[in-house]
Amino acid sequence: MPKGKKTIIKDIKLLDNDEIIINGKEYVILENTKDIQTAKTMKISSNGNRILRFEDEKKKATIDVKREINIFKVTFIDKERAKKFNKDNDKKWILENDKKELIATANSFIKAREILAKLQDKKSENYEKQIGTTIFFYIEY
């Protein structure tokens, strides 16, 4: 669906865990509102999120397409390959002898970015001092 296009909502069902089905497609609720099931239209914003519009024009909710996004931590053994990975983020630099572990799974890009931000925050208890030298985080979907 191109940016800016409005979609009329014909069928909407609220599920558990901040999930919603609109016109047969699953979405994740990012910014909820009361009576979200009464949305009339959906529009794609400039950052790719979907904005639900209601009869009351001041009322809105933000959703994103539901997907499975895995967040990995990789620890390079070779610092030269780590530098190359840091330069171009090409996964070809990750070899079998490097330590790669799945550390989290998110169901939208915004939630994945929130997790990555917490992992890279120096004030976080999970902060790795070697981030950017031999330890890197990346997402796969």
pTM over 0.75: no
Is 126 a residue whose pLDDT tops 60?
Answer: yes
By the 10 Å C-beta count (0-12 exposed, 13-18 middle, 19+ buried), 52 is classed as buried
Alpha carbons 76 and 12: distance in angstroms, whole number: 46
Residue found by looking up tokens 């800016």 in the block: 4
Alpha carbons 74 and 90: distance in angstroms, whole number: 13
Is 1 a residue whose pLDDT tops 60?
Answer: no
pLDDT per residue as tens digits for the range 64-74: 888 899 999 99
pLDDT per residue as tens digits for the range 78-114: 999 999 999 998 999 999 999 999 999 998 888 888 8
pLDDT per residue as tens digits for the range 39-58: 999 998 877 778 999 998 88
Is 38 a residue whose pLDDT tops 80?
Answer: yes
- Domain regions of the chain by residue span: 6-65, 69-140
Instruction: State the maximum Cα–Cα separation within the chain, in Å, rounded to a whole number.
Output: 58
Q: 108: how many CB neighbours lie within 10 A of its CB?
A: 20
